[in-house]
Amino acid sequence: MEPFLKISARENAAVKIYRKLASSRKERMREQRFVLEGLRLVGDAVKNGAALTHLFWTEDGYARWQAEQIQADLRETRCALISNELGKELSQTEHSQGVYAICRMPQQPALCDLVHAGGIYAVLHQLQDPGNAGMVLRTADALGLDGVIYSASCDIYSPKVVRATMGSLFRMQICCTAEIAPVLDACRSAGVESCAAVVSGPAELVGSCAFSGGTAVVIGNEGNGLPPEVAAACDRRVTIPMHGTIESLNAAMAAGIILWEAAKAEKR
């Protein structure tokens, strides 16, 4: 085994930083770093060129890392073996794999650089559920979208969101904004149509409406949907027809359906 630093103390400085970043959005934003847990997630990070400042393994975790033959440039990364007890304390998953890392936040593109003519985007406004936030990013990655924009939404670097992305966080262009207005302005300037996903009122039925050119699908909050003023500010309103007594779908599911239609139209 490599002669890494060995850590067993809970009060170790690097371990304390990991805990703070895992639990505090304020600390993540101040440090511009976030935490990763799991062999696949950390492996995806290094394969996609993410900058790790710290990498921790338990002995079992290091054995898994070696078995996967993950190639990584760790010259700028502080690596350490930690005790199993400490690994259990750091873990936020039911079945820990014994691999943990601290990662620098990637530089986000400006809206004017991200949004371009002909692009397909997911715009999430006031989305608060970490599972939905991560699943939409995975869906966007799978569909080959040009970017995902989070407007006044949950922290995409929280451990729950990061896990839900299953590595797509490192492959997608992402931009986070505090307001929706600049997003819609950027779409308008680039000739990208903004399509509000709504559950009621006059709207085009997805599946029968024609998407052409650039499209930004705007999805709202899980409980309340898009505010009326935001839906009114979009170029179009799109809805998913429901059968029976179902009123609406999960935000990530609705986003997936509409984004698939938009991406399919773009590839024709």
Q: Where are the domains of the chain?
A: 5-104, 111-267
pLDDT of residue 8: 86
Please report the beta strands in the chain, taking only residues with DSSP state E, as ranges in sequence order.
Answer: 5-7, 33-37, 52-57, 78-82, 99-104, 120-125, 147-151, 174-177, 193-197, 204-205, 215-219, 236-239
Q: What is the pLDDT of residue 243?
A: 76
How high is the pLDDT of residue 3?
53
Looking at residue 210, the DSSP 8-state letter turns out to be P
Q: pLDDT band at 208, cuts 50/70/90?
A: confident
% of the chain exceeding 90 in pLDDT: 75
pLDDT for residue 267 = 58
Predicted local confidence at residue 17, as pLDDT = 96
The reply to whether 111-267 shares the fold of 5-104 is: no
Q: If you average pLDDT over residues 102-125, what whole number do you get?
A: 96
pLDDT digits (tens, 9 = 90+) for 75-88: 899 999 999 999 99
Residue with tokens 């059968």: 243
What's the gap between Cα 181 and its chain centre?
Answer: 21
125 in Cβ contact with 230 (< 8 Å)? yes
The CATH architecture annotation of domain 111-267 reads: 3-Layer(aba) Sandwich (3.40)
pLDDT band at 245 (very low <50, low <70, confident <90, very high): low
Q: Which fold has domain 5-104?
A: 60s Ribosomal Protein L30; Chain: A; (3.30.1330)
pLDDT at 201: 82
Residue with tokens 């699908």: 217
How confident is the model over 146-200, as pLDDT tens digits?
999 999 999 999 999 999 999 999 999 999 999 999 999 999 999 999 999 998 8
CA 21/CA 24 separation, integer angstroms: 6
**Whether the Cβ atoms of residue 248 and residue 225 lie closer than 8 Å to each other:** yes
Residue 72 pLDDT grade (very low, low, confident, very high; cuts 50, 70, 90): confident
Is the four-CA dihedral 175, 177, 182, 184 of positive or negative sign? positive
Please state, in angstroms and as integers, the Cα–Cα distance from residue 119 to each residue in 22, 155, 243, 251, following that order.
34, 24, 32, 22
pLDDT of 1 over the 50 cut:
no
The three-state (H, E, C) secondary structure of 113-150, written as one string: HHCCCCCEEEEEECCCCHHHHHHHHHHHHHHCCCEEEE
Q: Give the residue-averaged pLDDT of 201-218.
A: 88
DSSP state of 225: B
